[in-house]
Amino acid sequence: MTPFDLEGKTAIITGSSRGIGKSIAEAMAIAGANVVISSRRQDSCEATAESINELAGRDAATPIAASISSKEELEALVATTHDRVGPVDILVCNAATNPYYGPMSGISDDAFRKVFDNNVLSNHWLIGMVAPSMAERGGGTIIVVSSIGGMLGSDTIGAYNIAKAADFQLVRNLAVELGPNNIRVNAIAPGVIRTDFAKALWENPEAEAALNKATPLGRIGEPADIAGAAVFLAAPASRHITGQSLVIDGGFTVAGGM
């Protein structure tokens, strides 16, 4: 086995029909994993699974739709994965929600709860669903896709940033709790990535130019820039890493941001 070999591993990746999640699924499939493509719409999951199977040259991807806002659908996702693909070795909590842009003084209680339910509570649910089986089989790896927003203040995406900061602590705490069972829990903290989810931050050419200028590497990220890190954190190469948050932002935060 090579340090980056995922041969025979089963991975659930939420929010994987497009964007960062899709790139992670593609990279893990190429590395040998059997990946479960999950997002809200089954047709989108099926289309992505078909493209990944073609890319990998094998039946590497299985589409199973689920909404992260529904505990029952997530339970069904895990159970169906076990029945159709196998016990879960790798969980990537990538799906997220940001329903509000503006100052904290203007966010409704319902919107604030939705941000936390979908970005923190759903991760807690899913991890709790897969961890017992991982422990029984001698270990596993869990990756939470957070954001550099969890390290920064903002006058437009404050609730989202607060939730992403909570994800960092979720990872640290669960690394302590699950470490004795050889379950590693880490986070990835992307900067601005060219996805539909982050379009409001980069779709204006002037906004993207400003982000590029503030980033030492001179550009915003692409989904593929996150995929290799996810493979690393899931693979034997990172077997002594847990409770950590890997920032992937082209140097934006170390340069002081905008």
Query: Domain 10-248, what fold?
Result: Rossmann fold (3.40.50)
Q: Report d(CA 251, CA 255) in Å as an integer.
A: 6
pLDDT on residue 208: 83
Active site residue 160: yes
How many percent of the chain have pLDDT more than 90? 86
**pLDDT single digits (tens) 117-175:** 999 999 999 999 999 999 999 999 999 999 999 999 999 899 999 999 999 999 999 99
Q: Which of 90, 157, 160, 223 is catalytic?
A: 160
Confidence of residue 195 (pLDDT cuts 50, 70, 90): confident
Q: Report d(CA 98, CA 108) in Å as an integer.
A: 13
Q: Report d(CA 154, CA 152) in Å as an integer.
A: 7
Mean pLDDT estimate for the chain = 95
* Cβ atoms of 131 and 183 closer than 8 Å: yes
**pLDDT single digits (tens) 75-88:** 999 999 999 999 99
Write the single-letter amino acid at 234.
Answer: A
Q: Report d(CA 155, CA 224) in Å as an integer.
A: 29
CA distances from 232 to 18, 50, 51, 189, 235 (A): 20, 24, 23, 14, 5
Q: Report d(CA 205, CA 234) in Å as an integer.
A: 35
* Cβ atoms of 89 and 97 closer than 8 Å: no
Domain boundaries along the sequence of the chain: 10-248
Ranges 2-6, 150-154, 180-184, 206-210: which has the least confidence: 206-210
CA 85: distance to chain centroid?
20
Write the single-letter amino acid at 249.
Answer: D
pLDDT on residue 127: 98
Residue 31: closest CA among 77, 84, 89, 80: 89
CA distances from 117 to 3, 96, 145, 159, 160 (A): 35, 10, 15, 12, 11
CA distances from 212 to 87, 173, 204, 208 (A): 42, 34, 12, 6
Annotate 210-231 with b (16+ C-beta within 10 A) or e (fewer).
ebbebbeeeebbebebbbebbb
Report, as an integer, the average pLDDT of 225-238.
Answer: 97
pLDDT over 70 at 202, yes or no: no
Report, as an integer, the average pLDDT of 48-64.
Answer: 97
pLDDT on residue 106: 95
pLDDT on residue 258: 63
* Cβ atoms of 143 and 228 closer than 8 Å: no
Q: Report d(CA 236, CA 115) in Å as an integer.
A: 33
DSSP annotation string for 164-181: HHHHHHHHHHHHHHHGGG
